[in-house]
Amino acid sequence: MPLKTLVFWLGLVGACAGGPAASETAITITYVKQEVERPPVLSNLDAIPEDEGWRGAEIGLQDNATTSKFLGQTWSLQERIVPVGGDLLAAGRESAAQTRFLIIDAPREGLLALADLAELEDALLFNVAAEEPDLRDEACRANVLHTATSLTMRSDALMQFLALRRWSDLAMITGPHASDMAFAEALRGSARKFGLKIKGEKEWRFDANMRRAASAEVPLFTQELPDHEVLLAADEIGDFARYLPYNTWDPVLLAGSEGLRPLGWSHVMEQWGAVQLQNRFEDHAGRNMRPKDYAAWAAVRALGEAVTRTASDDPNVLRAYMLSEEFELAAFKGRPLSFRSWNGQLRQPIPVVHPGAVVAVAPLEGFLHPTSELDTLGLDAPQSRCTAFSE
């Protein structure tokens, strides 16, 4: 076996021992949340918590604060909630007067409007909510880093798993909402990318009460689909897909928004010390940790890691460090996370889960990439039309 050894002598940076970054640094993060109206859903069994995202940021701040007390840094977090129809840009301007570091929990349009505010031009915005692929592509912004997964990262993760299992005959049922259609589009693209076939599609358009009618309606509805092994559901608002399992005409597997789901985070993650994060979160929030909580936690921790390593509070220095190859974040997903230097997306493994356990964690074995296997998930550099990061 050829032995290659890397030894880095650290004499040059020896000065940092015994407490690097002894300077007094105070970092304030503002969490800006745009409240949104959600369309009504058939069942209220799984309400979305009001504090989704925010609680993750709080845990991240506690982690940062514990680290920084050894380094003479202080951290604070404040929340700014903009009600439906409220003035998001005013909140952005007010926040800009207080901090250069913002977590943005807003839909695509709100995120872009904030990113384009002159007052926030040299700030660092972390997107923890918007999954639209174009935000990582032609609509990218230099001052926005994405710790939220993109739809295509998630759909690629699911399709890698289906390809690995050789379940290549698929059908899909899509809801009528924009978020459903966007996820469906991502699933179609990923199926093509990994050589799977969506043989038939139907749009969900029932107005019956499915709590009573699913067993009568769904078998007939799915009977018309061509033969398939896996039925995909694109139902990102959680409306109808819960009524599909066991009601399909054929005994098929469910995936997508129901059954087997690709998610940025799930409370069934246990490996790689994830239990520790889950425990801290559950003690703090009194509920399970959700993908947006994880994205917000990762945003605060990424900033914390950059501040710790650079001993700086300059957003330009921190941004450059986070986008460099030096940056790595230990984040309970089994390998270091880093940012894609061409569009600011946090590279991360995507768990593919069912409600009781993790089934797989993408990238999966055999999906190769010249630089990082994590870049088999979502938009890769050669395809990216994002230019804001190339200066």
Partner 1 sequence: MKRLLSTLSCFALLAALPATASEIWVTNEHDDTISVIDIETLEVVRTIETGERPRGITFSKDYSVVYVCASDSDTVQVIDPETGEILHDLPSGEDPEQFVLHPDNRHLYIANEDDAITTVVDTVERKVIAQIDVGIEPEGMAVSPDGKIAITTSETTNMAHWIDTETHQLFANTLVDARPRHAEFAKEGSELWVSSEIGGTVTVFAVADQTPLAKISFEIKGVHQDNIQPVGFEFSADGKTAFVALGPSNHVAAVNTETYEVEDYILVGRRVWHMAFSPDHSMLFTTNGVSGDVTVIDVASRTPVKTIKVGRFPWGAAVRP
Secondary structure (3-state) at 159: helix
Size of the site for partner 1 (CB under 8 A): 39
The residues, ordered by sequence, that sit 6+ positions from 12 with a Cβ below 8 Å of its Cβ are: none
| Of 10 and 118, CB closest to partner 1 | 10
CA dihedral 202, 41, 189, 335 (to 10 degrees): -140
| Of 188 and 301, CB closest to partner 1 | 301
Q: Are 323 and 341 in contact (CB under 8 A)?
A: yes
H-helix or E-strand containing 145? Answer: strand 144-146
Residue 330 near partner 1 by CB under 8 A: yes
Question: Which one of the spans 99-107, 145-153, 230-238, 323-331 is the region binding partner 1 (CB under 8 A)?
Answer: 323-331
By rule CB under 8 A, what string of x and - marks binding of each residue 63-92 to partner 1? x--xx--xx---------------------
Q: Are 164 and 144 in contact (CB under 8 A)?
A: no
Q: How far is CA 101 from the centre of its chain?
A: 19
Choose among 121, 152, 124, 122: nearest CA to 136. 152
Question: Which one of the spans 5-13, 28-36, 231-239, 257-265 is the region binding partner 1 (CB under 8 A)?
Answer: 5-13
CA distance 227 to 223: 9
Rg (CA), the chain: 22
Residues from 229 through 288 that contact partner 1 (CB under 8 A): 273, 276, 279-280
- Residue 337 CB, nearest approach to partner 1 (Å): 9
b/e code 102-128 from CB counts within 10 Å (16+ = b): bbbbbbbebbbebbebeebeebbbbbb
Residue type, 74: T
Residue 4 near partner 1 by CB under 8 A: yes
| Of 308 and 341, CB closest to partner 1 | 308
Residue of 50, 224, 328, 366 that binds partner 1 (CB under 8 A): 328
- Residue 304 CB, nearest approach to partner 1 (Å): 10
Residue 58 near partner 1 by CB under 8 A: no
- Residue 30 CB, nearest approach to partner 1 (Å): 23
Residue 18 near partner 1 by CB under 8 A: yes
Q: Kindly state the DSSP code that residue 146 receives in the 8-state scheme.
A: E
Q: Are 243 and 218 in contact (CB under 8 A)?
A: yes
By rule CB under 8 A, what string of x and - marks binding of each residue 357-376 to partner 1? ---------------xx---
| Of 19 and 40, CB closest to partner 1 | 19
Residue 7 near partner 1 by CB under 8 A: yes
Choose among 204, 211, 210, 264: nearest CA to 234. 204
Q: Are 129 and 104 in contact (CB under 8 A)?
A: yes
| Of 170 and 329, CB closest to partner 1 | 329
- Residue 344 CB, nearest approach to partner 1 (Å): 20
| Of 19 and 195, CB closest to partner 1 | 19
Per CB under 8 A, residues contacting partner 1 are 1-10, 13-14, 16-20, 62-63, 66-67, 70-71, 273, 276, 279-280, 301, 305, 308-309, 328-330, 334-336, 372-373
